[in-house]
Structure 1
Amino acid sequence: MSTEAAPSTSVESPMRFRHNRHQNIRVSHDGTVARRVNSSFFSRGLVFGTRPVKANERVTFKLMEVTDNLGAFVYVGFTSHNPDNLKGVTCQHLATHSGYWSWFFPKDLCTQNTLLFFYLSAEGVVHYGVENEEKGAFDGRVKQAELLWPLFSIFGNSSAVRLVDAPRGAELRPKPNRKLVPMKLHSTHSRNVRVCKNAAQRLDAKYSQGYVFTDRSIKPGEALTIQISPGLKGRFAGLLHLGVTSCDPASLDSDDLPDNANCLVDRPEYWVLICDFSDLNCNDEIGLCLSETGQIGFHVNGSKFKGVVHVDATLHLWVFLSVYGTTQPVQLLTCPEQVKDEEKECVVCYDNVIETALYRCGHTCMCFECAVEQWQGKGDGHCPLCRAVIRDVIKLNK
């Protein structure tokens, strides 16, 4: 008869791995280490936590055993299924069955004995980081109507994971809710989209000419939120162009706009294509903010950083969207709070601050050394955010 203690369900107890001898995993006696037994089965390394997580509670871990010949990988995520009731579940269930949410932890962070963490925010966004520093958020959202257990799939040449107890009080506190108010869309729009106040609905079976504009120019210090298919359910591979223009929509003949939004920069007015978003899902949110000096920062689902673009702040700038693919509908909200310039980390090395702008796309996302390497070296001359061809690297004066 097994003397193994029943898994604790107390949210105050330390997070541990659940013992499960029916899989290719062995868990240490104290529950802190999970090891894949048969290394020839690279994908049979599924293991669950012993209790549900709290909102903003960090799940912290290290990769203990990593071989050098191939990359180390680990899936992390959550399930709404109580692991006590699961039998015969495999890694394939993570992608094909409901009630599972999982992501590859970024490969460049998966080095041996590096302290990694992830956590679920109160809004259902899963954030991740390394050595007590946030690095971003995974795509999509987790449904929070039920209890959620953390899960790991120890994959590839990472064969053992150790859970690390976070220090007392290390749970992240949610930020105060901002007051969002609807931002009206302009009556001028392209032919394949309907506009009603702050919402735009692209016509069914029409996949281009979905341009909409804000009813007024954006103010310096203002933040916008773009909600994708709010209130709907399901997952899809939605697409959205986002940018700003000095062209007053009231003076615009929308029939003159190109099907391909990338061609907008060839028009005589000032058009800046900030980002071409892909793989959007229902209830995703894109945030955009304009600082007093013309720095536009944008992110997805509250992640710490997605990108920065510098624009001409002396102009009146309207925000525009091109709703295409399977994205529909969208709505705009605004938060009239002051937005300040911040020193952001280079998206390549994560060590130096951003100090360059790329010509012609305008993205400011790298330090000078990484930008030159991206332009003339291993980056093949393409912007890491939008994949536009880099024509030149401009060092910013601060």
Structure 2
Amino acid sequence: MSSASSSDESPLRFHPRSLQNMKVTHDGTIARRQNTSFFTRGLVFGTRPITQGEKITFKLMEVAENLGGFVYVGFTSRDPDTQVGVSCQKIARESGYWTWFFPKELCTQGRSLFYYVNNDGEVRYGVDDCEKGKFPGAVRPLQPLWPLFDIFGNSSSIRLVQAPPSNKSTTNRRTVPLSLHSTHSRSLRVTKNVSQRLDKGYTQGYVFSERPIKPNEGVLIQISPSQPGPRFQGFVHLGVTSCDPAQLPRDDLPDNVNHLVDRPEYWVLICDFSKLNCGDEIGLTLTKSGQISFHLNGGKFKGVVHVDATLKLWLFVNVYGTTQAIHLMTCPEPAKDEEKECVVCYDNAIEAALYRCGHTCMCFECAVEQWQGKGDGHCPLCRAVIRDVIRINK
């Protein structure tokens, strides 16, 4: 049985020809139902046949509140260019189509869902890079297979996500060790740029960079967790602080990392990294404007926060769960401000910072809506309560 892989073919896109109630935008990566009062009429195809083992990854971008998202996925052996008047009802009755209902419990807004066909014709599926099972039956893999989607029910748009590159972020990049500070939690041992746990405890894993990180500096955190235990998997929390570690007593740090933001110093906390595996790398870059972007394994974008770049900022990491060690590296290549689209509307540029979590992931209009009602007052990335929305002037 073969496993999923990336493809050397051109990037997969939605077919530009609109079917019934669908509109394709953003260079073919987003398909949206134009009239959301219809709960059907959401059929759309891919632009090319897939290869065996190629992951088809997508996100449900708009799901009605208090109700689940729904999507059928599948394949067709018929070229979408030749299909006229095709409908969801028609493909259910005719040969040359294979469709499955994606498990409802996985269909939540913003999660990365995927499916692929292996050499045996099995169609397997999963979420967030974790395989969950296989759909019943099989397809005939030795023929062209175009992917298809039926966006219906309370889902109104999906976005195709290109698979991240298989190589790590250090490939073709020059890195040098970034030393860790002598101030650290009691459960850690620090040697140069390596932090190692001394016991089996799950908390009190704080460690700091020896010096403030520089504007336009990139940092790599290399993860070395142990085998998953019965209670936790590999976790790290990270962020920046204006607190000089040399002035910080070792026992003056809370067991609960969320309490750091209540301290009098400036602390910005990022809690977006869990289920880490040995060899994973978290990349972090700070620009002169105060934008911090962070990634996983070189290509999988995780998010952006905006910080006060007028302060001296030390990087801190809380080694948590079954994660046993981290290696800290720095990348001398200058970092650039990344122009990202709002994670809600996918039309406008990011121009708002959320207080107090610090995430910058939305345009100002969507951020206000997320704060005052549509998003139930929570950050869409970390689910922290939004206290205020600050417009970013670039």
TM over 0.5: yes
Could you say which residue in structure 2 is the equivalent of 1:73?
102
Distance 2:270 2:9 in 1: 45
Offset of residue 258 of structure 1: 0.7
Equivalent of 2:331 in 318, 330, 335: 335
Q: Deviations over 1:277-324 (max 9, x none)?
A: 222222221111010111111122223532221212122111000111
Matched-pair contact (CA < 8 Å) for 1:227–1:286: yes
Is the aligned partner of 1:83 residue 2:112? no
Alignment check: 8 A CA contact 1:62 1:114 kept:
no
State the secondary structure of the residue aligned to 1:371.
Answer: helix
Alignment of 1:11-26 (within 5 A): none
Alignment of 1:150-299 (within 5 A): 177-229=172-224, 237-299=233-295
Whole-Å Cα distance in 1 between the matches of residues 9 and 177 of structure 2?
42
Separation of aligned partners in 2, 1:370 and 1:379: 9
Tell whether the 8 Å contact from 2:234 to 2:320 is kept in structure 1 after alignment.
Answer: yes
The SS at the match of 1:374 is helix
- Offset from partner CA, 1:190-222 (integer Å, 9 cap, x none): 101111221111233211110000111101010
Map of 1:346 onto structure 2: 342
Three-state SS of the structure 2 residue aligned to 1:378 is coil
User: How much does 1:373 deviate?
Assistant: 1.7
SS in 2 for 1:264: helix
Matches of 2:303 and 2:253, distance apart in 1: 26
In structure 1, the residue corresponding to 2:323 is in which secondary structure? coil
| Preserved contact between residue 66 and residue 112 of structure 1 (Cα < 8 Å) | no
One-letter amino acid of the structure 2 residue matched with residue 187 of structure 1? S
* Aligned mates of 2:125, 2:294 — CA distance in 1: 34
1:354-373 correspondence to structure 2 within 5 Å? 354-373=350-369
User: Aligned ranges for residues 116-135 of structure 1 at < 5 Å?
Assistant: 116=160, 118-119=162-163, 121-123=165-167
Q: In angstroms, what is the RMSD of aligned CA positions?
A: 4.1
Letter of the 2:355 counterpart = Y
Letter of the 1:218 counterpart: I
The amino acid of 1:121's aligned partner reads: P
1:375 alignment partner, SS class: helix
| Equivalent runs, 1:23-62 vs 2, <5 Å | none
In the aligned structure 2, how far is the partner of 1:117 from the partner of 1:347? 13
Cα distance change on mapping 1:111 and 1:302 into 2, 3 Å: farther
Q: Identify the residue that residue 309 of structure 2 maps to in structure 1.
A: 313
Change (3 A) 1:82 1:216: same
Instruction: Flag the 1:66–1:396 CA change in 2: closer, same or farther, 3 A.
Output: farther
AA in 1 matched with 2:206: Y
- Asked if the contact 2:168/2:297 (under 8 Å) is kept, the reply is no
Name stretches of at least 5 consecutive residues in structure 2 with no aligned partner: 1-6, 11-48, 59-72, 77-86, 90-99, 104-112, 135-148
Distance 1:90 1:340, change over 3 A: closer
Distance 2:253 2:340 in 1: 34
Kept in 1, the 8 Å contact 2:224–2:326? The answer is yes
Once the 2 structures are TM-superposed, how far is the Cα of residue 189 of structure 1 from its aligned partner? 0.5
TM-aligned CA deviation for residue 362 of structure 1: 1.6
Give the distance between the partners of 1:306 and 1:117, measured in 2 at CA. 13
SS in 2 for 1:369: helix
Q: 1:345 to 1:185 in 2, by over 3 A?
A: same
Q: Which amino acid aligns with 1:315?
A: L
Q: SS of the residue aligned with 1:254?
A: coil
C-alpha spacing 1:77/1:179, structure 2 compared with 1 (3 Å): farther
Cα gap change, 1:115 to 1:391, in 2 (>3 Å): closer
Distance 1:94-1:315 versus aligned 2 partners, 3 A rule:
closer
| Preserved contact between residue 52 and residue 116 of structure 2 (Cα < 8 Å) | no
Going from structure 1 to structure 2, the CA distance change for 1:372 and 1:332 (only over 3 Å counts) comes to same
1:44-71 Cα offsets, whole Å, 9 max, x none, are xxxx977567xxx99999867768xxx9
When normalised by structure 2's length, the TM-score is 0.62
1:144-175, Cα deviation, whole Å (9 max, x unpaired): xxxxxxxxxxxxxxxxxxxxxxxxxxxxxxx9
SS in 1 for 2:342: coil
Structure 1 pair 396–200 and aligned structure 2 pair: CA distance change class (3 A): same
Change in 2 beyond 3 A, CA 1:188/1:376 = same
Residue identity opposite 1:328 in structure 2 = Q
Counterpart of 2:375 (choices 371, 379, 389) is 379
Other structure's SS at 1:288 match: strand
Q: Is the 8 A contact 1:244 1:317 kept in 2?
A: yes
* SS of residue paired to 2:362: coil
Partner of 2:40: none
Displacement of 1:386 in angstroms is 1.7
SS at match of 1:275: strand
Identity between Structure 1 and Structure 2 (%): 60
Amino acid at match of 1:76: F
Runs of 5+ unmatched residues, structure 1: 1-10, 15-47, 98-104, 126-174
Secondary structure in 1 matching 2:201: coil
